[in-house]
C-alpha cells in the first residue's frame, strides 16, 4: 500500500510581499515533512510537493484555508516513495516563464480560453473544426502527446510567443490547448486570444486530470513530470509508446538526463544504449571528464558545481539536474 502522495497544483492569484511569502512557505513545508519544488511570484503559486498522506492533507487544508488560494485544484497521485529529495520554494518573476509580463496582454486572472473538463475535451477533440495544440516543450511532447496534436519546436515555454505566426493557419478552427497540469495553457490561451484567435479552449487540469477522469484515451506515450518519477502512465484505454531511442531508434518510453552535466539534455534512450553509452547522448559526452556514473536510471540529484570565478570573486554555480518550470 502506498503511504506517500505527490501533489500537483497551481493558482493564479495576487500575492503581496511574495518574496517574504516564499521564505515563510518554505519553512512551513519543511515543518510538516514535505519535499518538492514550489515557485512563488506576485501572480501566484505553482508547485509539486510530496510526502506522507497526512502531511499532504495538512498542506492542502492549509493552502485552501487561505482565501487567496481557495480555488486551487490539487492533482493527487499515490506513490511508493517521496518524489523529491529536498524541499525548494523560490520567488520568481512568473510562476511559469513566458517572458510576457504585461497584464494588458496576459493576465490569466482576467481572460483565458474556455476551460474544458476532461470528458468535454474527449468529446470535442476529434471534430473536423478542431485543432489540438500541445503547448509544452520538445522533450515533453516527444515522450507523449495526444493523437493528431499539433506540436511546436520549442525548448522552453518562453519560446511559445515566437511561434504564434506558425499557428495563423488555424485561426478559423477551434483551438484546444493542453499541457501537463493546465498552468501553461492559462497563458498560452490568453496570448492566442490576444492575437486574434476567436475560439480558444484549454484542457482543465491538463493531461494528469485527463488520465484520471477520461482514462487518458488517445494520449499516446507517457507524460513527462517534473519530479523523480520523470514520466508517468496516463492512458489506460488504448496505450501506445511513441517515443524512440535517440541513439538506435528503437521504441522506448525511458527518458533520462545526459550523464555529462554540462550537457544534461533530456532525451529518450533504451536500456541497451543506456549501458553502451554510459547514459550519454553522444560519444563526445561519453568522453567528457565530468561525466557522472550511470546507474541505469539516468536521474541525478542536484549537486551544485563551481562554474567560474568572476571579477569580484563571487562563485557562480550550475546544477547537475536540468532546471525546468513546473507543469
pLDDT tier for residue 222 given thresholds of 50, 70 and 90 = very high
Q: Which helix (H) or strand (E) holds 159?
A: none
| CA distances in angstroms from 113 to 59, 134, 318, 325, listed in the order given | 29, 14, 37, 21
Helix ranges, the chain (H): 18-31, 53-65, 118-124, 138-143, 183-194, 206-214, 271-276, 283-286
pTM of the predicted model, to two decimals?
0.87
Strands 305-309 and 315-318: antiparallel
**How many Cβ atoms are within 10 Å of 63's Cβ, its own excluded?**
21
Q: What is d(CA 265, CA 322) in angstroms, rounded to the nearest whole number?
A: 7
Known catalytic residue at 29:
no
125-167 residue pLDDT tens = 999 999 999 999 999 999 999 999 999 999 999 999 999 999 9
- What's the length of the chain? 327
Burial of residue 16 (number of CB atoms within 10 Å: 0-12, 13-18, 19+): exposed
pLDDT at position 1: 59
Nearest by Cα to 70 from 111, 8, 6, 9: 9
Q: How many CA atoms lie within 13 A of 125 on its CB side?
A: 25
Q: Which cell goes with 87?
A: 524541499
Cβ within 8 Å of residue 78, ≥6 positions away: 2, 4, 5
Domain boundaries, given as residue ranges, for the chain: 4-91, 114-232, 255-318
CATH T-level topology, domain 4-91 = Alpha-Beta Plaits (3.30.70)
Q: Which helix (H) or strand (E) holds 270?
A: none
pLDDT tier for residue 228 given thresholds of 50, 70 and 90 = confident
For range 225-233, the mean pLDDT = 91
35-65 residue pLDDT tens = 999 999 999 999 999 999 999 999 999 999 9
Q: What is d(CA 209, CA 186) in angstroms, rounded to the nearest whole number?
A: 15
Q: What is the mean pLDDT of the chain?
A: 91
| Annotated catalytic residue within 56, 179, 245, 281 | 179
Name the CATH architecture for the domain at 114-232: 3-Layer(aba) Sandwich (3.40)
If you write DSSP's letter for every residue of 182-248 in order, what string do you get? Answer: SHHHHHHHHHHHHTT---EEEETTHHHHHHHHHTTTTEEE-EE-SSTT-EE---SSS-----B-TTT
Amino acid at each position: 500500500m502506498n503511504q506517500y502522495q505527490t501533489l500537483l497544483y497551481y493558482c493564479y492569484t495576487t500575492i503581496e510581499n511574495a518574496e517574504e511569502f516564499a521564505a515563510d512557505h518554505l519553512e512551513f513545508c519543511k515543518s510538516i515533512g514535505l519535499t518538492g519544488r514550489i515557485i512563488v511570484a506576485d501572480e501566484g503559486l505553482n508547485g509539486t510537493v510530496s510526502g506522507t498522506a497526512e502531511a499532504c492533507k495538512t498542506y492542502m487544508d492549509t493552502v485552501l484555508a487561505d482565501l487567496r488560494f481557495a480555488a486551487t485544484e490539487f492533482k493527487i497521485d499515490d506513490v511508493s516513495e517521496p518524489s523529491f529529495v529536498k524541499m525548494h520554494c523560490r520567488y520568481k518573476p512568473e510562476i511559469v516563464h513566458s517572458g510576457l509580463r504585461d497584464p494588458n496582454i496576459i493576465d490569466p486572472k482576467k481572460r483565458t480560453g474556455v476551460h474544458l473538463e476532461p470528458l468535454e475535451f474527449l468529446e470535442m477533440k476529434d471534430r473536423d473544426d478542431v485543432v489540438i495544440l500541445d503547448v509544452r516543450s520538445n522533450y515533453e511532447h516527444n515522450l507523449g502527446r495526444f493523437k493528431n496534436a499539433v506540436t511546436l519546436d520549442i525548448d522552453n515555454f518562453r519560446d511559445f510567443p515566437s511561434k504564434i505566426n506558425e499557428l495563423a493557419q488555424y485561426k478559423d478552427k477551434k483551438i484546444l490547448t493542453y499541457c501537463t497540469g493546465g498552468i501553461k495553457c492559462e497563458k498560452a490561451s490568453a496570448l492566442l486570444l490576444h492575437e486574434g484567435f476567436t475560439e480558444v479552449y484549454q484542457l482543465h487540469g491538463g493531461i494528469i486530470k485527463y488520465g484520471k477522469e477520461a482514462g487518458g484515451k488517445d494520449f499516446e506515450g507517457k507524460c513527462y513530470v517534473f519530479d523523480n518519477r520523470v514520466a508517468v502512465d496516463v492512458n489506460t484505454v488504448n496505450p501506445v509508446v511513441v517515443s524512440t531511442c535517440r541513439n538506435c531508434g528503437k521504441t522506448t518510453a525511458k527518458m533520462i538526463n545526459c550523464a555529462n552535466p554540462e550537457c544534461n539534455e533530456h532525451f529518450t534512450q533504451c536500456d541497451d544504449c543506456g549501458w553502451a553509452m554510459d547514459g550519454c547522448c553522444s560519444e563526445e559526452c561519453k568522453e567528457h571528464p565530468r561525466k557522472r556514473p550511470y546507474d541505469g536510471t539516468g536521474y541525478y540529484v542536484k549537486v551544485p558545481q563551481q562554474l567560474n570565478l568572476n571579477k569580484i570573486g563571487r562563485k557562480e554555480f550550475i546544477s547537475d539536474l536540468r532546471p525546468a518550470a513546473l507543469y
